[in-house]
Structure 1
Amino acid sequence: MWTVKDVYYVSDSTALLTEDIGKSLLCQFPAIGLNEEKIPFVKTRYDAEKAVAHIMEQSGGLQPLVFCTIIDSDVCAVFDRAEIEMFDLYGGLLDRLERKLEAEALRQPGFFRNRDDAKPDKRVEAIHYTIEHDDGQRTGGYDRAEIILVGVSRTGKTPVSVYLATHMGFKAANFPMTADHLAAYELPADIVRNRKKTVGLTISPQFLHRIREERYKGSTYARLATCRTETRQAEQLYMRHGIKTVNTEGKSIEELAVQVTQLLGISKKKR
């Protein structure tokens, strides 16, 4: 019987659902330790081949398990090779897992949910924290944050923070970079001190201009010149303090949340 297995959740989207399904199956094998990782946004054969190379480098010939939810059959097929045990999340998975892991599944309904009773409490705590630290409130509490998002107005800080808390269980604070901070070329000490868990949200001036114009048409706030100045100053601050960045342009909240956690190296954190 295997004592430890490497497991990868691969998807052409965020891989959150893939992970949930895979974990709901694997929890039936509590005696086997798991090294888990999500690989989201695998949309092309190139993405898939890159993911396979990463998996093989990490796991060698130890027959890693790959749970896959990729719609494109050609892309999904890249993972179907002898060195990998690939599951496309269709019927009969527990039977196959029993064979591959050389162990009997518990086959206990709801075991995953029952085993993780503490998770809702942690998620509620994360939601409360995120609400209390929204839009620059209580920066003195940033030492307790797991993720801090910063960016100019209308870059999506609040919705991404809320998603990180409600769907992923992270304590996420967010801080708006106002004209005062940008002009002074400085960030609050509470952010600078926690810059390793801070992500700067970026956007092109043109895209930001379109977003602002929808709500504040003709205002100085929405002018393209204002957007250019603010985005340039924000990016200079990110570079000055070594803050990692994610471009928000045209991306969904779910996609941004996953990219933020990957950038900070916490996508494998057990919640």
Structure 2
Amino acid sequence: MWNTKDVYYISDSTALLAEEMGRSMLCQFPEIGFNEEKIPFVREKRDAELTLARIMKQSGGLQPLIFCTIMEVEVRQVFAVAEVELIDLYGGFLDRLEHTLEAKALHQPGFYRNRDDAKTEKRVEAIRYTLEHDDGKKTEGYDQADIILIGVSRTGKTPVSVYIATHMGLKAANFPMTADHLDAYELPTDILRNRTRAVGLTVTPQFLHRIREERYRGSKYAQLVTCRAELQRSEQLYMQHGIQIVHTEGKSIEELSAEVTNLPGICKKERKLSAR
């Protein structure tokens, strides 16, 4: 088994998709260390030949991995040599699609990005909205939210909101359940008015206690009894107002984002944005 491996993400466009797809596979091998480099805009055969020569020099003939999303067959084939392991992410798949659809592909580098400017603008707007409505700010703007995450402190509201905005293009507001609302057993009217798009985040008291202890050791805020009381009251409010609940403990940001945006009634204007 290899201890380390050189990896190159090569494309005739930005190489973002090659990198994303390559990393999604390489993460399944946590025991191996990877030395990664992204090489975009390899569009001519001569560019490919120079790139391959540099790779061979850098990697010293140790079978580097190349994840490739180059459209032009002649350019792509430059990397199909015995000295490297070429993972062709487009060639075979695109050929198969042409056969299945009985149509010829454009074979145009970066075409998806070129036609996706409107989605990019929506994503930028979603990020702006999410940052402006983080941590309970500007609740009067919740009517424009695609999703509203609520929960007590340290249940993951902000990172999940930001991920949803940046990767899914959805406007995600988040609201902290503080003592004022928990003690009064009430939610702001701006949330209640939009409860069908609200999601309550929760964890176990023990997990919340451990998380809070890491930053505020020995504080009343971090005590197990405090965590238990806050979570119990917040969950009661969720159920009272028919707000869907998601448990965040032990889940990655990616998993949580997918889970909350796939709940019934939550807007799904865009799926994950990607680019070659």
Alignment of 1:191-230 (within 5 A): 191-230=191-230
Partner of 1:109: 109
The Cα offsets for residues 22-71 of structure 1, whole Å up to 9 and x where unpaired, read as xxxxxxxxxxxxxxxxxxxxxxxxxxxxxxxxxxxxxxxxxxxxxxxxxx
Contact 2:170–2:269, Cα closer than 8 Å, also in 1 = no
Following superposition, the deviation at residue 100 of structure 1 comes to 1.0
Task: Supply the AA of the counterpart residue of 1:259.
Answer: E
Per-residue deviation, 1:266: 5.0
Question: What is the distance in 1 between the residues matched to 2:268 and 2:136?
Answer: 28
**Structure 2 vs 1, CA of residues 141 and 227 (structure 1 numbering), >3 Å: closer, same or farther?**
same
Aligned-pair CA distance for 1:232 = 0.5
Change (3 A) 1:133 1:260: same
Match of 1:127 in 2: 127
**CA drift at 1:270:** 3.3
Q: Per the alignment, do residues 267 and 247 of structure 1 end up closer, same or farther by CA in structure 2, a change over 3 Å counting?
A: same
Instruction: Report deviation, 1:123.
Output: 1.2
Q: Which residue of the partner structure matches residue 98 of structure 2?
A: 98
Q: Secondary structure at the match of 1:148?
A: strand
Tell me how far apart the structure 2 counterparts of residues 188 and 132 of structure 1 sit (CA, whole Å): 18
AA partner of residue 212 (structure 2): R
Deviation at 1:265, TM superposition (A): 5.1
Residue equivalent to 1:176: 176
1:248 matches 2:248: yes
In the alignment, what sits opposite 1:147? Answer: 147
Specify whether residues 267 and 255 from structure 1 end up closer, same or farther in structure 2 by C-alpha distance, changes over 3 A only. farther
Q: Report the AA paired with residue 219 of structure 2.
A: S
Query: How many angstroms apart in 1 are the aligned matches of 2:141 and 2:128?
Result: 13
Q: How does 1:21-170 map to 2 (within 5 A)?
A: 91-170=91-170
Q: 8 Å contact 1:216–1:222 — kept in the other structure?
A: yes
Which string of whole-angstrom CA distances, capped at 9 and with x for unpartnered residues, describes residues 7-27 of structure 1?
Answer: xxxxxxxxxx89x97xxxxxx
Q: 1:69: which partner in 2?
A: none
Shift of 1:93: 0.9
What corresponds to 1:46 in structure 2?
A: none
Paired with 1:263 and 1:211, the residues of 2 have a C-alpha distance of 26
Contact 2:147 2:266 in 1 (8 A): no
Alignment length (residue pairs): 188
Q: How far is 1:96 from its partner?
A: 0.7
Q: 2:175 & 2:266 partners in 1: Cα distance? A: 20
Q: What's the secondary structure of 2:222's corresponding residue?
A: coil
Partner deviation per Cα, 1:161-183 (whole Å, 9 max, x = no partner): 11111111111100000011011
Instruction: Identify unmatched segments of 5+ residues in structure 1.
Output: 1-16, 22-88
Partner of 1:187: 187
Q: Distance in 2 between matches of 1:270 and 1:256?
A: 16
State the AA in 1 paired with 2:152.
Answer: V
TM value normalised by structure 2: 0.64
Deviation for aligned residue 1:269: 3.1
